[in-house]
């Protein structure tokens, strides 16, 4: 199997170098996933602009992290689980809550509806469970929120696919594996 390296600043083109410099200035580092995406300056610039624009959408930072954790767990992206567990904690979630978000067992009713629908969107390739869509609207969300949720799912799928395909080395604290029931384990294994 071909290994996609995590490039250094000197190994990317000048446009990507500028983005790396801005990331280092703003974050104190260039996360490995951004570095890998930086093999294509266009892809990195587009992804960061897309993410930044979506941060102005329907959902606050906690809700976005809830979706990121749920989708990353479903997709089995260890890198994104580590990164978004750290970000979720920075946005007020406890370690235990991050586990519940990933497992789909969060007690908060709105976050539960949001994360379950996000998983259904991924699992069913866009044709989400109609009951979950109804629950989403019953929880007070609207059509704009639904479109923004689809965008969040697409954003996370892209990062998850990069993380898994490239085997991006984790540069955050690893997320602890979830304790799964036999049924959950069987479902996850059938997807891998």
Return mean pLDDT, the chain. Answer: 92
Q: Supply the pLDDT for residue 3.
A: 73
Beta carbons within 8 Å of 151's beta carbon, 6+ residues apart = 54, 57
Pinpoint the residues of the chain covered by CATH 1.20.1290.10.
61-160+172-191
Q: For residue 172, give both structure tokens.
A: 């955050």
Least confident of 103-107, 143-147, 173-177, 185-189: 185-189
Question: pTM (2 decimals)?
Answer: 0.90
3-state SS class at 13: coil
Q: For residue 48, give both structure tokens.
A: 């960061």
Domain 61-160+172-191, CATH 1.20.1290.10 — does that match?
A: yes
């Amino acid at each position: 199997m071909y290994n996609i390296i995590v490039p250094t600043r000197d190994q990317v083109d000048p446009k990507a170098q500028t983005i790396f410099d801005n990331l280092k200035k703003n974050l104190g580092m260039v996360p490995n996933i951004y570095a890998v995406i930086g093999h294509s300056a266009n892809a990195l610039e587009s992804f960061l602009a897309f993410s930044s624009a979506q941060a102005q959408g329907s959902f606050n930072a906690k809700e976005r992290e809830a979706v990121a954790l749920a989708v990353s767990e479903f997709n089995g992206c260890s890198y994104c689980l580590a990164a978004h567990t750290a970000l979720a904690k920075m946005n007020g979630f406890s370690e235990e809550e991050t586990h519940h978000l990933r497992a789909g067992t969060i007690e908060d009713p709105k976050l539960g509806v949001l994360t379950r629908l996000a998983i259904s969107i991924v699992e069913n390739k866009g044709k989400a469970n109609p009951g979950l869509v109804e629950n989403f609207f019953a929880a007070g969300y609207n059509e704009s929120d639904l479109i923004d949720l689809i965008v969040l799912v697409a954003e996370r799928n892209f990062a998850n696919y990069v993380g898994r395909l490239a085997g991006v080395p984790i540069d955050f604290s690893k997320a602890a594996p979830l304790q799964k029931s036999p049924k959950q384990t069987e479902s996850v294994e059938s997807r891998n």
